Chains A and B, each alone.
Chain A
Amino acid sequence: MKAGGDHNGATTFREALRDALREALTADDRVFLMGEDVGRYGGCFGVSLGLIEEFGPDRVRDTPLSESAFVGAGIGAALAGMRPIVEIMTVNFSLLALDQILNNAATLRHMSGGQINIPLVIRMTTGAGRQLAAQHSHSLEGWYAHIPGIRVLAPATLQDARLLLAPALADPDPVLIFEHGTLYNVEGHLDPAVPAVDLDHATVPRKGTDLTVIAYGGCLSKALAAAEELAGDGISAEVVDLRSLRPLDDATIISSIRRTHRAVVVDEGWRSGSLSSEISARITEQAFFDLDAPVERGCSAEVPIPYASQLEEAALPQVPGIVAAARRVVS
């Protein structure tokens, strides 16, 4: 297996994803990748660049612009024993395939009384931060996390970018993987001591004692930066990376709150009816008497994401806002 990174193990999020795809395509001939421009173009964000040369156009399969048909075809192929990886360019376009994802992928197992299952992986880009305006910037993963019958993942680290795909493919049910668009160019080193990750557990990338900041995907780095800033003021923030948006790892979240007694939830989705609402509700349901302050939330403003950079920046959760929320809960 060729490694995407340089000789020192340095890699980008994009290369880590590509290495995971290459590994999967190499390991199992039932695996194939399909989507718009995944082949000759190399993927709209360059993730699958070069894979068509390695694996051929049958297994790195360019599709027409027809999200519903090729997502549904992925479901059908999974039903017939394949292990398809379907790429949808961005979550915004996944709405054209929502029928297939919800009414078929998430539902066929149940409607058939458990007789069939859909081992399908769907990858897509999510999130704002690149001045792409409203129809290319929304964070709708929280909607998908609403749906029983599927698993929803959001890698935030190089490690997860590299390692989440294998267990996702091994899952008997559909798995949606949301890749935040600002992460593709992130560079770093993979830890060779971590050979695998499990899908069920959130991680705690920073330990702390005064409050818990819960984040995922594109917002994790903002949460970690806020924790760093807070440390300068003598406030010790623990950071939880959800990694799995469905199912949520309640145990990790709640055990952290039991120790810190305070929480800030960071979520690039809109505040109303969001994943952050769900997490906040679970904290009050399960740890109300451990809380020393109301749960705070840092979400996107309730506006379609604007183009102008100062407006876009103002619309999204940012480090100063997370720091301010943290100060409020500890004061």
Chain B
Amino acid sequence: MNSAGETSAAGHQGRRTKAKDSDAAHDRHLLRDMLLIRRFEERCVELYSAAAIRGFVHLYIGEEAVAVGVHQALTEHDAVVSTYREHGHALARGVPPEAVMAEMYGRLTGCSKGRGGSMHLFDPGRRFYGGNAIVAGGLPLAAGLALADRMRGRERVTCCFFGDGAFAEGEFHETANLAALWELPVLFVCENNLYAMGTALAREHAQTDLAMRAASYGMAAWAVDGMDVHAVEKAAHRAVTSIRAGGGPHLLEARTYRFRAHSMYDPDRYRPKDEIAKWKQHDPVTGMTEALRSSGRLTSARLKKVERGIAEEIEAAVAAAEQAPKEPVESLLHHVTGRNEEKS
């Protein structure tokens, strides 16, 4: 996302190496990136209610510290592979809110030209290889991207986000073995939000220590507090530094929580209300805001300004999406193959 004209994926290289919480500007940048995701998705809820956007929409609210923290360790040369819960990953990667919003509207100006929608955001120019709505479907792709980099001698990392539910799929286990066997430069980020749709972690996994199981494949793996953006950032730096030094794949199990239902269709009947309330006390956005406020590093005037800037950016994205052209049905058969459209 844009803050002062630079993308979070590429920027702040120098600052990153400094102590985790001593740099007020960096912390304000982290807050802004998380706030943008939060406000963007809150706006999506309204737009969904207004039927402006449709389909399956999976909100990241509550998990923002993971995407933003991990992205501090990535450069523009690295690749990102994501899931259907990927608005946060895309925005943290620097995909413009305008392109994401237009995609939710199904417009030609969307980051996937309206062919993908919320679950399939793509931006190959930023090496963002998609939203994938097959649980664990992106994991093998990440191994392949990393394999290509390794074979071509490119010092890049491929970062792959997926959930605790995906951890039960064969595609995770096949890919973990392959990546470890071939020592591929992959950063696996398992967003353990304790639920796969309505199935709680302990009801889907015989052994719920996911990092330990990942380590059994012969890769470095550890759990990190996914509600603490500094902890995530630090862990990601450590992992990425090791991967770049030839340390093979690493896995971070980010322990996090989604504050909203699984998708817009989910009545959220399977979680105790007090569990949700308890996790909301660890809200990464309000936590960071309060930390900055109480230490005097963020005045209310400045916070207001940040909020206003974000609101303007989002409203501009909505307005642009509303105005954006719809693809004419005459080109329905485009983007199927590269050669001229098949007769079939």
Contacts and interface: CB of A to CB of B under 8 A. Distances in A.
A70 B120 CA distance: 22
A113 B338 contact: no
Contacts of A131: none
Interface stretch (A58-66, A184-192, A234-242): A58-66
B174 A116 contact: no
Interface residue tally of chain B, by bracket? Answer: 35 or more
Interface in A52-84: 58, 63-64, 66, 68-82, 84
Interface string B149-180: 10110000010000000000011001101100
Given A68-B140, A69-B175, A82-B148, A112 B338 contact: no
B301 interface: no
Interface string B112-150: 111110001011100001101010010111111111110
B112 A63 contact: no
A80 B148 CA distance: 6
A55 to B, nearest CB: 12
Interface stretch (B63-71, B242-250, B329-337): B329-337
Interface in A112-152: 112-117, 148-151
A66 B122 CA distance: 27
Nearest to B113: A113
A72 B344 contact: no
Contacts of A32: 151
Contacts of A70: 140, 178
A103 interface: yes
B342 interface: yes
Nearest to B154: A80
A63 B81 CA distance: 22
B144 A247 contact: no
Contact of A73 (B115, B178, B337): B178
A248 interface: yes
Interface string B50-79: 000000000000000000000000000001
B177 A66 contact: yes
B25 interface: no
Interface in A87-123: 99-100, 103-104, 108-117
Contacts of B124: 112, 115-116
A79 B171 contact: no
B145 A247 contact: no
B181 interface: yes
B273 interface: no
Nearest to B175: A69
A247 B342 contact: yes
A71 B140 CA distance: 8
A115 B335 CA distance: 8
A68 B174 contact: yes
Given A112-B112, A113-B110, A115-B124, A99 B145 contact: no
A172 interface: yes
Interface string B234-262: 00000000000000000000000000000
B230 to A, nearest CB: 31
A151 B123 CA distance: 25
A72 B171 contact: yes
Nearest to B170: A68
Interface in A262-312: none
B343 interface: yes
B338 A173 contact: yes
Nearest to A109: B335
A248 B143 contact: no
A113 B335 contact: yes
Given A69-B177, A82-B151, A104-B134, 15 more contacts: A32-B151, A66-B175, A69-B178, A71-B140, A76-B129, A76-B140, A76-B144, A76-B158, A77-B151, A112-B120, A113-B110, A114-B115, A115-B112, A116-B124, A173-B338
Interface of A: 32, 58, 63-64, 66, 68-82, 84, 99-100, 103-104, 108-117, 148-151, 171-173, 246-248, 250
Can you list the 7 inter-chain pairs with the closest CB atoms, starting with the nearest?
A: A72-B140, A76-B144, A113-B113, A80-B148, A69-B174, A66-B174, A172-B338
